[in-house]
Chain A
């Protein structure tokens, strides 16, 4: 289950001497959702194209399901589904006909083809409009049709380039649900995006791209500890006397500051919610609310780029 499906070692792409992707290394395990994050032009799409064998690799090595995408692109493309950013279909053809064309390019037999097309369209909720022209489809429906293509391919890896850009919130939620579902089927997902909130909710691990390099890599909470500085932010809302002193006495609490009426914000080395609750109750106070602030990817991202802005301009 933990086998590596994508492995990049020191992957580099140069366009006319300029390194667009500069020696990046990462790996994606089977059944994992891996996010490539970064500002536009950071090299996310180029990395994806190299992994698919659609762009030559200037330097370094890539392995996708044990194949070298530069030498065996057909073997790679047979098992990898790709949803490009700004996906397009033949507007004059129906949804099913569009899938039929790609199924024939994959070399599927007729019976197999029809069965897989029906199943995949049903799965993304497009079964009713299978014979409608794609020109009548909304953007969200097109994205779902793109996912149907990946399902039809029975791909082991799905590479999604900016899948949620330009979608309304409802369509985004639906698409993310479909992505989670891909994971349930054992498909590894490589996702690129700059919409952090959305990505945070689905990704197991993320890589933060910056100027063609991976600046940070890991789970969201790991990145949070690294960038925002370790520590939990716990907020306590309670009524009572002398709570601040009692809470400050809890081992592990580094700082207590008032944050409005009856509110205290704590900075602690661990999750001190149980101790804080006990302290409030022991002081005879009334505990109204107790929450711990998860590090948000958005905060990590903006903090990272704030602290590295000087370097960005210098280079």
Chain B
């Protein structure tokens, strides 16, 4: 049975409202604290380790993301991302039901698809923002901690890692694969460069 109108009518309105809700809730304070604490802990751990291998590693800066004691950023993210996602999404629909707002909203000229997808998109956006903040914080603190700026030659290698935070929200568990492919690529790069005598 075909229904009239777009399933996404009202999607933008729902998304904006949900984003506003996320950013004004207590949850965002918890997120900020978690992100900052994670960045500081990870960078401190990584910097300590990296200092010992400065001589032998050409891609020191990238090690910020993959090295560290007790736990490197990529491993921590695979745990944190699902946690963030659950925190953002666990009561988004049944919360509306409990507040008795669901039937009132659905009586407006929108399909329920728009409501569900809008809530999902808002969660995705909030998660992306917090992960980008985390990624930038790690880079910034890493610059301070290591005193090694990522130089132009390594832009390509670093670029390959820049999609890391974007891929995170899609799936927490995928971060492992992505880190693996990153390091494989870096290894290839390092081999080719050392063969050419670039380093």
0/1 per residue, A93-117, Cβ < 8 Å to B?
A: 0000000011011110000000000
Contact check, B103 vs A90: say whether CB atoms are below 8 A apart: no
- Which of A13-21, A65-73, A226-234 binds B? A65-73
Asked if B196 is at the interface (CB within 8 A of a chain A CB), the reply is no
Q: Could you tell me which B residues sit within 8 Å of A by CB distance?
A: 1-5, 9-10, 13-14, 17, 24, 99-101, 103-111
Chain A residues lying within 8 Å of B110, measured Cβ to Cβ, are: 74, 77, 105
Chain B residues lying within 8 Å of A82, measured Cβ to Cβ, are: 103-104, 107
Chain B residues lying within 8 Å of A72, measured Cβ to Cβ, are: 3-5
Contact check, B13 vs A88: say whether CB atoms are below 8 A apart: no
Total residue contacts A-B, CB cutoff 8 A? 72
Q: In the bound complex, how far is the Cα of B78 from the Cα of A298, in angstroms?
A: 64
Q: In the bound complex, how far is the Cα of B110 from the Cα of A92, in angstroms?
A: 23
Asked, given contacts A74-B110, A107-B109, whether A87 binds B100 with beta carbons under 8 Å apart, the answer is yes
Contact check, B104 vs A101: say whether CB atoms are below 8 A apart: no
Could you tell me how many residues of chain A have their Cβ less than 8 Å away from some Cβ of chain B?
29
Given contact pairs A84-B103, A105-B13, enumerate 7 new A-B contacts (beta carbons under 8 Å): A72-B4, A73-B3, A74-B110, A75-B4, A88-B101, A89-B101, A102-B105
Main secondary structure of the interface of A (DSSP, over half): mixed
Asked if A91 is at the interface (CB within 8 A of a chain B CB), the reply is yes
Contact check, A90 vs B99: say whether CB atoms are below 8 A apart: yes
Chain A residues lying within 8 Å of B111, measured Cβ to Cβ, are: 73-74
Q: Which residues, 35 to 76 on A, are CB-close (under 8 Å) to B?
A: 52, 54, 70-75
Chain B residues lying within 8 Å of A81, measured Cβ to Cβ, are: 107
Q: Please name 14 pairs of A and B residues whose Cβ atoms are closer than 8 Å in the assembled complex, sorted by A.
A: A72-B4, A73-B3, A74-B110, A77-B110, A78-B109, A82-B103, A89-B104, A102-B108, A104-B13, A105-B10, A105-B105, A105-B108, A105-B109, A149-B104
Q: In the bound complex, how far is the Cα of B67 from the Cα of A290, in angstroms?
A: 97
Asked, given contacts A88-B99, A88-B101, A104-B13, whether A54 binds B2 with beta carbons under 8 Å apart, the answer is no
Contact check, B107 vs A71: say whether CB atoms are below 8 A apart: no
Q: In the bound complex, how far is the Cα of B3 from the Cα of A75, in angstroms?
A: 11
Contact check, A74 vs B9: say whether CB atoms are below 8 A apart: yes
Asked if A86 is at the interface (CB within 8 A of a chain B CB), the reply is yes
Asked if A140 is at the interface (CB within 8 A of a chain B CB), the reply is no
Chain A residues lying within 8 Å of B105, measured Cβ to Cβ, are: 102, 105
Chain B residues lying within 8 Å of A212, measured Cβ to Cβ, are: none
